[in-house]
């Protein structure tokens, strides 16, 4: 947006609370925000901020117009923003979508004989609600246990009390079942439908149940304890044993985990992890100093699915608003791992909705409260693992992966699958994608994109380039054939000392235990020492036998030393002539050694010895690429026999032993190295579905990259997204008609002449 237009927009904004809507060139709302001061907040977007998230910078680059709504207070702005985001779902807002329905426990206290039921929605009907609850099976188990201890009704009968006792004391409406039902006969209901209890008698149980769901189980325990003692004194031992069993049942369902030294008797503790584009959250409910329950939620958020960074403050803000908008109870304290955005406004909003006079959102620094946050994080991780395992089982993924191990003759279970696709549109640009499945589930954090040198549509050459660029990174992790890298042993001392003497190395006091060696057979081909001096690590004695030079052995030795050192900075003192060699690896020259290294041999002051220099390797500046450094168990290529051959050739070039296969789109045929004929699997099998998902995801990721690079090409890529239309068909169309607009306006019979009637029909139907 031009500066004059920005200034014009800012001039119109008032210093008032409100909501602002950012629009793009197509007048589409891409972001909604709230502000205590609209002018100040919106102005901040157009000021330089090096710390700003890339996602927000991207959003700012698309802004063409800003609309705003003025409200009376920050809380009104918060509520309006929440509603507008729900309704309009802007591209750059964090929109939390839970992947399952919640349930609430509803107690209709407006009835003479309150019914307790599980419902999906919380209504404004003056009934008492508890929730939201996510684990339906746990709630149902609690119901079954409570009905044994405190019988209640959950039927839909409309029971009105008249007076007295007996069947004539009540009037029954909505007779949807025969009554009394089985629950009455087995002691799970008091039988209000036949007048077996008065409303007051029935209400006694309901009050205890309400206290129970609020976390107060002491009254229920005391009553049962008293009844058990009385039964024992009356020598009714069977009855006493049954009461004891009821008390055990309560202990099981209330998670009586007492939290010692907790500063807050009443608190919710929440934490989360992000895994594979999903947010997994855990929330502990602490009441009366003990954990009375926990809830787990799984959320999708568009930005996270697209592998964009979203700050913890924004995630926590979104989760608090999502959860407490639906919660039936808000505690006095909410413990979170990081302060949410707009903390004060959120606190005011929560306080307004709660029954308390005080409410605080707290980030604990240390002590038991922080340990509870760590416990919540641990449970979020367990929940994520359980959710993924359950999803894998439901989708048949675990079985499918086992099948793939056999079908594709893999050496081991295909835990990590990498799939590759090449995309080129109109012959103007070629890109490649690498997607990663871990245990059969997409892992977007490890996806990688490649802009390829090939511009002409040559699938084989492009795939070869893509695989070469990826696998050469992996090849660097592997020692040349016949070499081994290990810790030195005692018998290596003599050859190590000979090398030190021959190469005139400065190593200080020698101890073979400080050395790593690379051997070819039994001969030492290279060596390096890693010395710890107090809290500092430095390398020494790097040497490669002249007979074995030129094979990057020093790279592997330095990598091993740096990986082993338990510090972020690793030092080395070397001759000036070697400076360039170490700089290529990532070392940087320094002019002051740490105090721990002042007493190195031949160095008497705070300096390297004459003719020598000191360098440091800072691990913080050289974060390894986890994805490129991980070896796949299976490489899957989008294509046929020719693409597979490219994969075989590149693996052979780098001497890498990795399972490889290709999957062709048309007939879903799998090509493998050991036979000419393709493998055809049942399309309902878990094994082919894992491969299809990986192939389709690689294709989607490549197309998305293409869209981001060029608007013109992005328009053209609409063709590829039509089911059943591939790149070759699209290329024929563009060579013939020149542009997407021309393709849209060309009669179907003309398109059919180029790509066939079936494809022509799909294209025309898509654009109708």
pTM value?
Answer: 0.50
Per-residue pLDDT at 138 exceeds 80: no
The CATH architecture assigned to 483-621 reads 3-Layer(aba) Sandwich (3.40)
Q: Is the dihedral of CA 450, 454, 459, 462 positive or negative?
A: negative
Token duo for residue 195:
């007048």
Q: Please determine, for residue 418, whether its predicted confidence score (pLDDT) is greater than 90.
A: yes
Classify strands 536-544 and 523-533 as parallel, antiparallel or unpaired: antiparallel
What is the Cα–Cα distance from 751 to 758, expressed in whole angstroms? 10
Tell me the CA distances in angstroms from 616 to 231, 527, 589, 595, one per residue in order. Answer: 78, 19, 6, 14
Q: Is the dihedral of CA 561, 566, 570, 574 positive or negative?
A: negative
Please give the residue that has the higher pLDDT: either 262 or 279. 279
Model confidence pLDDT, tens digit, residues 331-370: 899 999 999 988 989 999 898 888 778 889 998 876 566 7
Q: How far apart are CA 571 and CA 552, in angstroms?
A: 20
Taking residues 151-163, report their average pLDDT: 90
Please give the pLDDT value at position 231.
82
In what side-by-side order are the strands of the sheet with 536-544?
A: 483-487, 515-520, 523-533, 536-544, 569-575, 612-618, 588-590
Residue 268 has pLDDT above 80, yes or no: yes
- Residue 768: its pLDDT value, please? 63
Quick one: average pLDDT of 40-68? Answer: 85
Q: What is the mean pLDDT of residues 291-312?
A: 73
pLDDT at 676: 92
Q: Where do the domains of the chain lie?
A: 3-93, 103-213, 267-390, 399-476+629-717, 483-621
Q: What is the mean predicted confidence (pLDDT) over 54-64?
A: 85
CB neighbours of 360 closer than 8 A, spacing ≥ 6?
A: 332, 333, 334, 347
Domain 399-476+629-717 in the same topology as domain 267-390: yes
CATH number for the region 399-476+629-717 comes to 3.30.420.340
Q: Which residues, 6 or more positions from 683, have their beta carbon under 8 angstroms from its beta carbon?
A: 668, 689
**CA distance linking residue 738 with residue 426, whole number of Å:** 9
CB contact at 8 A, 610 and 573: no
d(CA 413, CA 406): 9
Query: Among 342, 320, 347, 334, which Cα is nearest to 373's?
Result: 334
Q: Which of 54-68, 178-192, 720-734 has the lowest mean pLDDT?
A: 720-734
At 764, the pLDDT band (50, 70, 90 cuts) reads confident
Contacts of 645 (CB under 8 A, 6+ apart): 460
* Residue 591 burial by Cβ neighbours in a 10 Å radius (0-12, 13-18, 19+): exposed
Residue 428 pLDDT greater than 70, yes or no: no
pLDDT of residue 670 exceeding 90, the answer is yes
Strands 523-533 and 515-520, sheet pairing: antiparallel
Q: What would the pLDDT profile of 70-122 be if each residue is shown by its tens digit?
A: 988 888 888 888 888 888 888 888 766 654 567 888 998 889 999 988 888 88
Contact (Cβ atoms closer than 8 angstroms) between residue 440 and residue 478: no
Look at residue 307 and tell me whether its pLDDT is greater than 60: no
For 559-618, the pLDDT digits (tens) are: 999 999 988 899 998 888 888 889 888 899 988 878 777 665 444 434 445 668 889 999
Contact 85, 32 (CB under 8 A): yes
Residue 240 CB: number of other CB atoms within 10 A?
Answer: 18
Query: Which helix (H) or strand (E) covers residue 69, if one does?
Result: strand 65-70
Residue 536, beta-bridge partner list: 533
Mean pLDDT rounded to a whole number for the chain: 83
Residue 204 parent element (H or E):
helix 199-213
- CATH class of the domain whose range is 267-390: alpha beta
**CA–CA separation, 149 vs 249, rounded Å?**
9
Phi and psi for 381 in degrees, rounded to 5?
-65, -45
The span from the CA of 154 to the CA of 174, in Å, is 14
Give the CB-side neighbour count of residue 284, counting CA atoms within 13 A: 31
Residue 460 has pLDDT above 80, yes or no: yes
**pLDDT at residue 379 tops 90:** no
Cβ neighbour number for residue 63 with a 10 Å cutoff: 20
> What are the C-alpha distances in Å from 701 to residues 307, 449, 505, 623, 635?
11, 8, 51, 24, 17
- Arithmetic mean of pLDDT, 56-61: 86
Q: Is the pLDDT of residue 533 over 70?
A: yes
Q: Does domain 3-93 have CATH number 3.40.1440.10?
A: yes
Task: Give CA–CA dist 609/626, Å, rounded.
Answer: 38
Residue 234 CA from chain centroid, whole number: 59
């Amino acid at each position: 947006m031009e500066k004059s237009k920005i200034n014009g927009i800012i001039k119109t904004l008032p210093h008032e609370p409100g909501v602002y809507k950012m629009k793009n060139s197509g007048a589409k709302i891409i972001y909604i925000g709230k502000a205590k001061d609209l002018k100040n907040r919106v102005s901040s977007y157009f000021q330089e901020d090096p710390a700003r998230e890339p996602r927000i910078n991207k959003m700012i680059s698309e802004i063409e117009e800003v609309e705003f709504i003025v409200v009376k207070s920050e809380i009104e702005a918060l509520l309006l923003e929440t509603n507008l985001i729900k309704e309009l779902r802007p591209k750059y807002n964090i929109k939390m979508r839970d992947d399952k329905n919640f349930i609430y426990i509803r107690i209709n206290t407006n009835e003479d004989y309150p019914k307790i039921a599980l419902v999906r929605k919380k209504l404004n009907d003056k009934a008492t609600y508890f929730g939201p609850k996510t684990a339906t099976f746990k709630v149902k188990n609690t119901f079954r246990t409570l009905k044994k201890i405190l019988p209640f009704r959950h039927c839909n009968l409309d029971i009105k009390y008249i007076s007295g006792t007996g069947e004539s004391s009540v009037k029954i409406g909505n007779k949807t079942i025969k009554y009394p039902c089985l629950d009455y006969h087995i002691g799970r209901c008091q039988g209000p439908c036949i007048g077996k209890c008065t409303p007051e008698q029935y209400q006694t149980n309901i009050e205890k149940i309400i206290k129970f769901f609020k976390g107060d189980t002491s009254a229920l325990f005391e009553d049962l304890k008293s009844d058990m003692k009385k039964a024992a004194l009356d020598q009714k031992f069977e009855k006493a044993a049954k009461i004891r069993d009821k008390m055990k049942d309560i202990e099981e369902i209330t998670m009586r985990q007492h939290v010692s030294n907790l500063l807050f008797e009443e608190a919710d503790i929440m934490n989360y992890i992000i895994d594979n584009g999903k947010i997994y959250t855990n929330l502990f409910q602490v009441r009366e100093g003990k954990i009375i329950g926990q809830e787990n939620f799984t959320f999708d958020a568009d930005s996270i699915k697209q592998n964009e960074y979203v700050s913890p403050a924004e995630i926590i803000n979104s989760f608090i608003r999502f959860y407490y908008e639906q919660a039936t109870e808000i505690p006095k304290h909410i413990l979170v791992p990081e302060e949410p955005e707009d903390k004060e406004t959120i606190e005011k909003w929560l306080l307004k909705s709660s029954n308390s006079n005080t409410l605080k959102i707290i980030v604990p620094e240390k002590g038991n409260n922080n340990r509870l946050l760590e416990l919540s994080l641990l449970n979020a991780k367990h929940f994520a693992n359980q959710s993924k395992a359950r999803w894998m089982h439901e989708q048949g993924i675990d079985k499918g992966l086992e099948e793939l191990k056999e079908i594709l003759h893999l050496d081991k279970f295909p835990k990590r699958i990498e799939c590759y696709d090449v995309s080129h549109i109109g012959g103007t640009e070629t890109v490649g994608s690498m997607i990663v499945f871990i245990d059969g589930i997409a892992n977007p954090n490890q996806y990688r994109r490649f802009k390829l040198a090939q511009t002409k549509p040559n699938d084989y050459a492009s795939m070869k380039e893509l695989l070469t660029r990826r696998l050469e990174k992996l090849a660097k992790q592997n020692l040349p054939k016949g070499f081994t890298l290990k810790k030195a042993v005692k018998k290596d001392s003599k050859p190590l000392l000979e090398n030190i003497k021959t190469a005139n190395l400065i190593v200080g006091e020698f101890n073979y235990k400080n050395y790593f060696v690379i051997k070819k057979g039994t001969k030492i081909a290279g060596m390096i020492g890693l010395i710890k001096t107090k809290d500092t690590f430095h390398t020494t004695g790097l040497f490669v036998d002249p007979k074995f030079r030129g094979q990057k052995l020093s790279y592997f030795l330095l990598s091993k030393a740096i990986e082993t050192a338990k510090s972020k900075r690793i030092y080395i003192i070397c001759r000036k002539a070697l400076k360039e060699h170490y700089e290529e690896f990532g070392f940087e020259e320094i002019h002051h050694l740490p105090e721990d290294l002042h007493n190195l041999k031949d160095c008497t002051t705070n300096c390297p010895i004459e003719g020598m220099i000191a360098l440091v390797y800072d691990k913080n500046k050289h974060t390894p690429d986890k994805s490129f450094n991980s070896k796949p168990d299976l490489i899957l290529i989008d294509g046929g026999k020719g693409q597979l051959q490219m994969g075989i050739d590149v693996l052979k070039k780098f001497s890498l032993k990795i399972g490889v296969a290709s999957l062709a789109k048309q007939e879903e045929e799998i090509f493998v190295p050991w036979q000419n004929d393709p493998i055809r699997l049942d399309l309902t099998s878990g094994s082919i579905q894992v491969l299809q998902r990986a192939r389709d995801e690689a294709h989607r990721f490549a197309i998305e990259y293409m869209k981001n690079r060029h608007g013109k090409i992005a328009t053209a890529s609409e063709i590829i997204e039509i089911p059943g239309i591939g790149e070759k068909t699209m290329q024929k169309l563009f060579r013939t008609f020149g542009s997407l607009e021309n393709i849209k306006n060309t009669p179907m019979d003309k398109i059919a002449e180029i790509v066939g009637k079936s494809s022509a029909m799909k294209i025309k139907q898509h654009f109708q």
